[in-house]
Copies of this chain bind each other. A is one copy, B any other.
Amino acid sequence: MNETIRTQLNHRSIRKFKQDAVPQEIITQLVDVARHTATSNFMQSYSIIGISDKEKMTELSLICQQPYVAQASHIFLFVADQYRNEKIAESQGQETSVLQNMDRFMIAMTDASLAIQNVNVAAESLGLGTVFLGSVLNDAPAVVDLFNLPKMTFPILGLAVGYPDQEPQLKPRLPQSLMYFDNSYPDVLPLTEELAKYDNDVTQYYDLRDANTRVDSFTKQITDGMNRKMPKRLNVLKDIQAQGLIQE
């Protein structure tokens, strides 16, 4: 167990930040960490919008439907980006239609996702609090407009950072027996025996977001989540296609 892993095992989302601003030199260092993340075929198919403008933060918090988004010191918006590479290749007279394939979209998505997690680890190692914003996809076209995202790009995830002003409990995760499998996916998941114990663990966890009340079991959260159908999110494939990606 070293300090890096100690920080990683201690991860929790922070949704209340102090007023203190994160200094620019730390922002620059975090972007450097992103830059040094592994990238598929060295293509670096992602970009980052650094959001410090308070009006844009407020607009984004309305899209995310999360008031704490507006209270962060800084937000990193990670964007799948085939636009830059398209422009580079076009400058050489190269045809670029392969960029419109799902394969290249997945590559850009994983590039963006690996980089944002790398930034998250670095931020937490510096004592910053963070929360991922999958909610930027609540209304992707609005995010595209707000940040002037060109065709061949698409928002993937946001990361809000700031100095933490809360200490949430560590959230219990699925046991290894339900998510790590030796050499083959099992024919039958050990749901009966292992899940009941995990459900019980989860109900012991107090969720700061909800006035310190206990939360539902994992089984109930997953089951109820099937009815969480946000119309704009369910349209995301068409939104991606409207950006010129996944043309098939």
Contact = CB atoms under 8 A, between A and B. Distances in A.
Interface string A87-121: 11101101110110111001101100111111011
Interface in A47-89: 47-53, 56, 79, 81, 83-85, 87-89
B125 A2 contact: yes
Interface stretch (A15-23, A161-169, A176-184): A176-184
Given A4-B3, A99-B226, A187-B148, A181 B36 contact: no
Contacts of A193: none
B4 A125 contact: yes
Interface string A214-243: 000011111101111110011011001000
Which bucket holds chain A's interface residue count?
35 or more
A189 B35 contact: no
Nearest to A207: B42
A70 B219 CA distance: 38
Copies in the complex: 2
Interface in A149-169: 149-150, 153, 156-157
A106 to B, nearest CB: 7
Contact of A179 (B35, B101, B191): B35
Interface of A: 1-5, 7-11, 13, 28-29, 31-38, 40-44, 46-53, 56, 79, 81, 83-85, 87-89, 91-92, 94-96, 98-99, 101-103, 106-107, 109-110, 113-118, 120-122, 125-126, 132, 134, 137, 147-150, 153, 156-157, 170-171, 173-174, 176, 178-187, 189, 191, 195, 218-223, 225-230, 233-234, 236-237, 240, 246, 248
13 contacts: A4-B121, A5-B122, A5-B125, A36-B173, A41-B225, A49-B182, A49-B183, A84-B178, A87-B189, A96-B226, A109-B113, A147-B184, A237-B246
